[in-house]
Amino acid sequence: MAITTWLALLLTHPLEFRTLLQFYLYHEQKRDIKALKEHPTSGWDRASMRRCWEFLDMTSRSFSAVIKELDGDLARTIALFYLVLRGLDTVEDDMTIPDAVKQPILRSFHVHTVTPGWKFDGCGPNEKDRQLLVEYDTVVEEVNLLLPHYKNVIIDITLKMETGMADYAHKAATTGTIYLDTVAEYDLYCHYVAGLVGEGLSRIFAASGKEVASLGSQLELSNSMGLLLQKTNIIRDFREDADEKRFFWPKEIWGAYGFNEMSEMHKTDPDTMQRASWAQSGMIVDALRHAVDSLDYLRLLKNQSVFNFCAIPATMAIATLELCFMNKEMFQRNIKIRKADAAKLIMRSTNPREVGLIFRDYARRIHAKAVPSDPNFLKIGIACGKIEQWCEHSYPSFIQILPESGRQELDPNDPRTRVVQGEQNLEAALARKRKLNGITNGKAPAQLELTQTSMSELAMYVGAAFALVMALAGGIVYAVMKYSD
């Protein structure tokens, strides 16, 4: 950020200035892929991989930062996985490529990805990621250097994804239908473009050995994680997609509010704006149904770098959904969460409990903005309530964690504390009763006493007995000596 930007932020948003300053000063970079010691796993010593890292920066700065901090060879593997799918997505999105040309490229992309020297320069001049495909042979070279268990996952996911993308692109080109009709069709499309990414990532994490092998088979949770992120982007990018004649919102949702075309929703007359807000809330309700599954997925992760990689986009997504909810500006321009909010989320997204609390806080904000006149009012309440319920079930609020020591403490003002203390007192009373009765697992009272005697008590008794024996022996010796005299 420029000095003038910092000064303007200090004068207009001093709290945000403080947050960003803390982030830049204290947020520690976990890994430097350019460092000499990282070259064996990051591939920075090869010109082809350095170019791939440059492409990653050009195509997605937000994902680039978290990918680079992954442990070991995961960073390079997932960077290449991302570039392969970005190349595939670029071909699918480019409306200037005729369907007759697009179809064979899409349906063979998994083959092209391992074919040395393959590249494509047929994208339109305005396609932002055109250069990636022009130099795609660089990506191919690096993919072929991956370990087989990584390479096989990338090729398998590319094959599945390209099939779905090609089917949807062909339908749009041959039937003239530019809309997804039902929510089920919308779910399937998002599965192809994002749910499969979640599956691929889970399989790569498992194959690396940094996560348990069973993570690779968590297909439903992986799919939900991908759908939450994809649907959030589709909601937020409404205006950009509409201007490019790309329409991903299902007609089942927006058509219920009297619209014949999606492009009608960015009109500024009061009636249109209100109906567009109802459609918007319907889309957000649909996205929120993946929130709990995403939280469950995050609880399965054990490696800190993998957790950060998955958790940061998830918290950004819930914050973006809150920003979009009941925000009419979304239909007029692209909106994003403020940099200070993003920095705060990055610093907080370090463990499942904290991420759950972030989801809960933003769900409460969404619920607070809901209005009874919204046809989705009850659905919004239920969706937000499920997030609240998940947090309370997983991390009960009456169990407090002291920030200084990390020790758990029960809130004395919460009625549930008295219940827990009552149960603990009952357990202690029962233990005393079992001890008195001498009946535990068939042991006699004497055996019970011996079992429950601590090692320190036993040592004390043995020492006392030894001292007594020595005293008696000493007395006997003294008596014998006196008698002999």
Instruction: List residues with catalytic annotation.
Output: 189, 236, 246, 309
Which residues, at least 6 apart from 303, have a Cβ–Cβ distance to it below 8 Å? Answer: 71, 205, 210, 211
d(CA 282, CA 241): 18
Helix, strand or coil for residue 443?
A: strand
d(CA 459, CA 472): 20
User: Which residue, chain included where needed, has tokens 């990636």?
Assistant: 132
Which residues, at least 6 apart from 13, have a Cβ–Cβ distance to it below 8 Å? Answer: 340
Provide the pairing of β-strand 408-410 with 399-401: antiparallel
Which residues, at least 6 apart from 50, have a Cβ–Cβ distance to it below 8 Å? Answer: 43, 44
The CA–CA distances, whole Å, from 25 to 17, 19, 343, 358 equal 12, 10, 12, 23
Tokens of 176: 């003239």
Strand segments (E) across 16-130: none
Q: 409 pairs with which residues across the strands?
A: 400
Tokens of 144: 């072929």
Quickly list H helices, 13-69.
14-26, 39-42, 47-59, 61-68
d(CA 154, CA 146): 10
d(CA 234, CA 226): 12
